Amino acid sequence: MRRAVLFLTLGLFLSAVFSSPAEPSGTQNGPQGSGPQPLVFIIPPVENVSAMYEQFLPLKEFIEKEISRPITLEIARNYQEAISDIGTGKAGLAFLDPSAYCEARHLHKVVPLAKTVLGGSSKYRSVIVARKDSPIDRIAEGKGMRLALGNTSSSSSYLIPAVMFKEVGLVLDDFASVGFLENEDRIALSVLTRKHDLGGMSERIALKYLDDGLKIIRTSEAIPQYSICASSKLPRDVRDKIRKALLSVNSDRTPELIAAMKGLDGFAPVEDRDFDVVRVMIRNLTGENYLEYRKGVVKVAILPLYSAITLFERFDPLMRYLTLRTGREFKLVIPKDFEDFFRTVKEGKVEFSYSNPYIYIQLADRKFLSAFANTILRDTGDIFRGIIITHVGSAIKDLEDLRGKNVMVVSYRSAGGFLAQRLLLDENGIDVYKDLKMSEGKRQEEVILNVYRRNVDAGFVRESALNVLEGKIDLGKIRILAATPYISNWPFAATRSAEGEMTELVQKSLVELKDESILGAAHVKAFKPAADREFDSLRKSVHAHDHE
């Protein structure tokens, strides 16, 4: 640990010595005979400055040779400076984390050139850390603690950690204090020196300090790695040369460069759509909407059963598959909640939808949707069910004990988080509207967390929802009071905006899908053709109970 502190101190000294105002990165030549002006390559202060210079100087020299133009490497004072410099053209290149890229793209139309590859992957994860001797083992236990984060434009040390806490019902105001330390090494050291109880950072940085006394208590889903981006003011031919040079970096062609970059394994192709999951996280956390849907994009609304990052992890591979099969770009639309999903479909803002059967029949009966495919799950075929949960310490032992109790449901439009339980209780003589005190949680995780924290007496959720919070809370404190009969699974449906030929092509593509990596990501076994009449039995059951 003493070595890490000295290294950080040296880094701060080098930052003061080497960071100088950037030279313009235009295409003009300098004084006569001096050649083109240097191209500024700016890097935000992800970790200590000396380590970043050591890592990027070999790459800077490599690109210089490939494009026959001098490059000035600079470490920005903060993320905002890096975003501003690449946006104004003061810098021609920037190394940006996913959140900073989304902001820079939205404000300045910067161009992604290549994603970095670290540890053999073009994706990375963020983590929440504590001291090894800390009693905190789950992030749900973080309320009232002191939290250290990085810059608010950082994905790894701000956005993703904040989203991870939000998934267990914690916002930053729930902590005793929140420090924004800019540099991820500082976050680690602050936790180690007990100035903060918890810290959020990239997994790569956290691993450096495990031997010094850090422990990782939660790891996020994977998102795209940092990318090298170009200013929109940099000529296209220069951008293309740099992209080609970056993508040529590998262990066979440039083994010495790979070794010199100390951890960087090379670069991978990048698309702007790779960062849509980050844009959704930014929107849900801050309200800033950086999402873009180009003309001609086919939009698919997914009912927000789980968090945005979970839904992207599951269904973005399917969107890319449909893009290849149809020749049109398919992109996910993830509404904020069930009501927003309902409005999105009714207003024709998307071409297709994927939702629970209860929401489907409500929209289909009003001619807003028409089913054409259904889901076959791995364990239960084309059916699923809901459950009623309580805290393990609750006095509720059977369904009769629910009378007069506070019960949280996912949404009154949820099949697995309300409808199935409502029908079950009705069959047992319990009217949910008269006999229970109900509230909506809007998401499956929110209901489970409120039962876990004993804020409510019981909850209605889909059976599979418990798996989403595994590792985040102690599921041993949740008891399943009852399980409902199985009901029809989620259908794919066309909205009024969908073209008939495209609907047929999407149905054919879904039914013919055999790729286990895509199906596995979506947690399904297969898709099968479906028609609206297949939901008549559910309609009959729902309508019968509605009119009793």
pLDDT of residue 118: 83
Tokens standing for 374? 């259904």
Q: Which residues contact 211 (CB under 8 A, 6 or more apart)?
A: none
Give CA–CA dist 218/471, Å, rounded: 8
Tokens standing for 490? 């989620």
Q: pLDDT class for 34, splitting at 50, 70, 90?
A: low
pLDDT of residue 256: 85
pLDDT of residue 474: 87
The CA-atom distances, in angstroms, between 521 and each of 303, 313, 505 are: 17, 7, 22
pTM above 0.85, yes or no: no
Res. 495: pLDDT tops 50: yes
Q: pLDDT class for 294, splitting at 50, 70, 90?
A: confident
pLDDT of residue 96: 93
Q: pLDDT class for 35, splitting at 50, 70, 90?
A: low
Q: pLDDT class for 544, splitting at 50, 70, 90?
A: low
Q: Which residues pair with 494 in a beta bridge?
A: 352, 370
Whether 253 and 266 have beta carbons less than 8 Å apart is answered as no
Q: Which residues contact 303 (CB under 8 A, 6 or more apart)?
A: 335, 338, 341, 353, 354, 355, 356, 359, 490
Helix (H) or strand (E) holding 98: helix 98-108
For the chain, give the mean pLDDT: 87
- Find the mean pLDDT for residues 515-532: 92
Helix (H) or strand (E) holding 51: helix 49-67
Res. 88: pLDDT tops 70: yes
473 C-beta neighbours (distance < 10 Å), count? 21
CA geometry: angle 84, 89, 92, nearest 5 deg: 105
Helix (H) or strand (E) holding 365: none
- Find the mean pLDDT for residues 109-116: 95
